[in-house]
Structure formats: C-alpha cells, structure tokens
Amino acid sequence: MIDESNKQISLKSYSARLDKNFTKDRVYLLGQIINNRFYTYNQGYDLIDTLPFEISDSEYVIGRSIDKEVSIFFESPIFNSYILQEESIKRNLNVMKSFDSKLTIINQKVKENKLYRVKIIKEEKDKRIVELYNDDEIFPGRIFKLPVNYNDIKSNLITTFIGKGKLVLQSNDVKPEIEVILVVLGSNQMVFAEINNPLEDKNLRMEFRFNNSLEKFLIAGNIYGMMKSYDFIGKNFYNVTIDKVMLGWYLLVERLEEGVFTVVLTGKNDNNQHVVEFGPYKGVMVKKQQVSKKMIGKIFDIKEDSTFSFIRTVFD
C-alpha cells in the first residue's frame, strides 16, 4: 500500500520518534521561499529571520509556524542550517548558522550560503556536531506512495500507516495510486501533497478564495494556486496560466486577454509613451491621459509577443 522501504517500520517506532522531536505547540511546514516570504499550498507567511542570501523558489525549506510567521531556524534535533562563511570552508571547518549562538560544525562537504536540513549527532556545552539529515524519520519532506479512492477525494483525507491527514492533489484527474510528500506535521495534524503529476494544460479558470495585500489565493476543485495581488478589481473567477509548479500548488499569472484590468505605471519608452505592466506583461498607453501609479482601464490590441495597448477608463 506504501513503498516497500516503509513496510518494515512499525507504527510504534514512528510514534516514539514523533514524541521525541515534536511538542503540541509546534507545527512544521515544508514550503518554498519567494521574495523573502514562506509559502505553503494555501498560505503565505512572513519570515521571523531575514535570510542573508537568495534561495531558489525551487528549493524546499522546513519552517516552524508561529501565528502568521515562520521561523526557519528552530530548536529541534532536526533543523535548517547554512554555512556561515567561506573562510571556514577553506580551513575545512564548516561552521553553520543555527537557531542559537552555539558553535555548530558539520564535517561533510557542503556549499556556502545554502540551507540544509541537519541533525544533531553530538552536543556539548560550547559546541555541537551535526550531519546532513536523511529522510529516515517522519518529518516534512518524506515521500510516500499511497492508494487513493473516491472517499479520499470526497473527504480530502488520506489514511496512512502513520495516521490520517489531509490530501492535497495536483489535478482533478485522480489516479488510483499517487506519490505524495509530507508538507505539514504537528502533534495532531498532517498534510500530504501530491507530486509528479502536474497539469499539462497550463490554462485554468479558478475561483477566488481569499487574498491579502501581497497575494491572491485561488482554487479549482482539487487545485490550489496563488498569484500576486496586482489586480484590485474584485472578481469571483480568474482566467490564469500556470507559471511554476510548486509544492501542492501552482504559482499563477492572470491570463492576458482583452478587458478591464488594473495596471501599474513603470515609466516611459523611447517614443515617450507611458509603459504599464499587468503582472508579467508590458503594454503602452496609446492616449495622452492623466496617469497615476495604479490605473484601471482597458487592455486591448494584444500582440504575439504578449505586449498590449492600454487606455485608462477610471479616474480618481
């Protein structure tokens, strides 16, 4: 029912590991960082710690949620850490930043300015030794193969040998067996997200779910998506295109089509025309009109290179 490597491990041993590593007030999330914010399939979080380097949005990072914020570095036998300075690598002494000021050293080959999941193997009063963490315990990032039936889809729950958790699918076309990754783990909750089954058709019509000042969250059956809140016109449905496949969700851009939308003024081109942006798309104002940083108007005359013409229709 699940992959062969997991069959020999008893539920009792997993329960012991869960009790050791987690307490009731901790919820661990596997997500991705975009523009210094942490994202899961249905929410964006502010980071408690500002990261000193860029992280690719394809990298998966583990965080611990605290209210509406996420801490990347946290006190746990397993935690995220990264190489602190290049000089330590040259001296073959890999010093890693961790959740406290204690000297943290890893003896394995690692890269500078990269987040790693590490596990404490020895701890003393003034220092600790860690090693790269392998997914041999129940922790966000563990991959399973699970059977799925109609009741799983109806209830959005999946039963596994480690317990029952929410199921987040990548499409509305459900397979009898799917590959999932554990993305949320707390003392009384688990969420599994389907992987390796992305949508082939990148164009979707999705229902508005909720938004904040930074992003807009959408849903279409089993499919979750998020896009930047550059459009302030309230709509119940959005025609979108998948920009990137994320972890249990999709990063979206609103599909460029003729209609009334909100655009952002960005400057002028060589022809002295005002340049505007609609999400990732660029256009020009074809009439001399009053301008402001954000404007509502008509997008039309869309070219093959996805540039467009714009006329302002709403004025303050």
The predicted-structure confidence for 22-43, as pLDDT tens digits, reads as follows 444 678 899 998 888 899 988 8
CB count in 10 Å sphere of residue 166: 17
Q: Which of 316, 254, 313, 256 is nearest to 286 (CA)?
A: 313
Q: Per the domain annotation, does 13 fall within a domain? A: no
207 and 249 fall within a common domain: yes
Q: Per the domain annotation, does 115 fall within a domain? A: yes
93 and 123 fall within a common domain: yes
**pTM for the model:** 0.75
Q: Assign residue 287 the CATH number of its domain.
A: 2.40.50.140
Distances (CA, A) of 141 to 65, 182, 254: 16, 5, 30
Model confidence at 173, in pLDDT bands (50, 70, 90)? confident
Q: Per the domain annotation, does 52 fall within a domain? A: yes
CB count in 10 Å sphere of residue 103: 15
Q: Per the domain annotation, does 266 fall within a domain? A: yes
Final residue of a structural domain among 254, 271, 294: 254
Q: Per the domain annotation, does 187 fall within a domain? A: yes
Tens digits of residue pLDDT in 184-235: 988 778 899 999 999 988 889 999 888 776 788 999 988 999 987 665 566 7
Tens digits of residue pLDDT in 98-133: 888 888 999 888 887 888 888 899 999 889 999 998
- Counting the structural domains of the chain, the total is 5
Predicted pLDDT at 230:
61
Q: Per the domain annotation, does 15 fall within a domain? A: no
Q: Assign residue 242 the CATH number of its domain.
A: 2.40.50
Domain that holds residue 189: 143-195
CB 171 within 8 A of CB 199: yes
Q: Per the domain annotation, does 12 fall within a domain? A: no
128 and 148 fall within a common domain: no
Distance CA 169, CA 192 (A): 9
Tens digits of residue pLDDT in 131-160: 998 766 677 888 888 888 777 777 778 887
Here the tokens at position 18 are 């869960």
Model confidence at 88, in pLDDT bands (50, 70, 90)? low
Q: Per the domain annotation, does 5 fall within a domain? A: no
- Helix (H) or strand (E) run with residue 37 in it: strand 37-39
